[in-house]
A and B are shown apart, each in its own frame.
Chain A
């Protein structure tokens, strides 16, 4: 991309960010004004609410006036599929056919009311106690699942169209999406996949490329504060956990003899660390599991922390506005400045974290295959040539 093009893109990005933040500032001030009338603003729950998953996709507004996209709730209860839209629950204030939003320890899950309220539909009174149990098999299309689907469609469309372009215009100068995506693919291949995996690159490149673009796109979508974006998908431990788990399985199943020898009979370590007390094998065995665990936590923590900080800067306006609207107004430019700064930082983090996750996955897989595995094949390839 030319310098001018990049500058234009940056301008658009900054303008969008400023507009979005300005909008949020207006909402924030409205909310702050409401808060002084109704209840005190608590930043903690406000932030957590924005970071975690939810059953509806909140667009704007508060309480009854809020605009929320209802999403389907799908439960498997006693072998039956139960499907209804999330707006039936009125943000947890009502029950539908005995199903309600959990509270207390069960907050964030769907519960089934027991006893008299087993098929109850209607408002739930505050202060009353309802016997309930958590629905275990909950495969609702939550905000994050919805965001997942959107991102899947987006990635599929992007890469199928790019692949089509390669197919229809082979050996031509890349253009459009292809030109945007190709440098990244080439970068990953040259800097991440090939150095770690050698000649086994072709086997694992599809997984690693999918991984990178999935994480990167979802990180980027997570930064956009309004609908299709705004869901904290890669800042969700279930998502990062699954990605780490897949890497774990890929690593384990592609492991060679060398990998297990390194673990159970670590070379270059004094014998008394292995016998009679198998300290090193123990450490190495734990290491098998800590690697994916760290992958999971790193991505989750980085993305979530970014969102929490940006939300905290917004909350500052609420908090100061609560003291005095004038102070809130005075603080807002500072808050917005830091918000923008963090937004830009998150852009960087979005790439870095996707890159790091992919790089480490590639390195773990490369380590599991072992130097020998990679070099043997290389030697064979050289011979074949």
Chain B
């Protein structure tokens, strides 16, 4: 019977003791402990989230970087191709120009030669004419004695005098 008979003293002390314990722990222990745990949980969660965010950012940066690399490569290739094209064009132009110039020089040279030739011919004609006149003068001077003979001579010379 004693086993299941609650004693007044124990009830009394239990109420006081448990009450005080509850008061002390509820005031000075549990809020601090539970808040401490919650705060730490939150901090850890925040940091994990932040780490994930940073990871994501890093990944996007990497991607961007790669994209930029690809773009730069493409740009470089394009630039090189253009440069090659430009140089080729320049070479071609120079070549054409050189050809045209040489052609022009040849033309000029030909013209000059022609002019010189014509000049030479003219000079030769004049000289011949002068010679002929001189000869004629001399002949005339010599042959003017015989009229018929003179005429025949003139005719003969005139016939022979073929200019090309």
A residues near B (Cβ < 8 Å) are 48, 51-53, 74, 107-109, 136-142, 144-145, 148-149, 152, 155-156, 159-160, 162-163, 166-167, 170-172, 181-182, 185-186, 189, 202, 205-207, 209-210, 214, 236-239, 241-243, 246, 304
Contact = CB atoms under 8 A, between A and B. Distances in A.
The 10 closest A-B pairs by CB, nearest first: A166-B36, A238-B6, A206-B26, A159-B29, A238-B10, A163-B32, A206-B30, A163-B29, A108-B2, A242-B14
14 contacts: A108-B5, A139-B9, A156-B24, A159-B33, A160-B24, A163-B36, A171-B43, A182-B37, A206-B22, A206-B30, A209-B30, A210-B26, A238-B14, A241-B11
B83 to A, nearest CB: 61
B32 A166 contact: yes
Contacts of A152: 17, 20-21
B34 interface: yes
Contacts of A237: 3-6
Contacts of B21: 152, 155-156, 210, 214
A207 B2 contact: no
Given A53-B10, A145-B10, A160-B28, A48 B18 contact: no
B26 A52 contact: no
A144 B17 CA distance: 12
B163 interface: no
B3 A52 contact: yes
Interface size class of B (residues with CB under 8 A): 35 or more
A136 B2 CA distance: 15
A241 B132 CA distance: 169
Contact of B25 (A159, A189, A304): A159
Interface of B: 2-15, 17-18, 20-22, 24-26, 28-37, 39-40, 43
Nearest to A243: B18
A304 B2 CA distance: 13
A156 B25 contact: yes
Contacts of A304: 3
Contacts of B2: 48, 52, 107-108
Given A206-B22, A210-B22, A189 B34 contact: yes
A172 B24 CA distance: 24
Nearest to B47: A171
A166 B33 contact: yes
A210 B22 CA distance: 6
Contacts of B28: 160, 163
Contact of B10 (A214, A236, A246): A236
A53 B8 CA distance: 12
B40 A171 contact: yes
A170 B22 contact: no
A170 B37 CA distance: 9
A139 B13 contact: yes
Contact of B12 (A139, A182, A241): A139
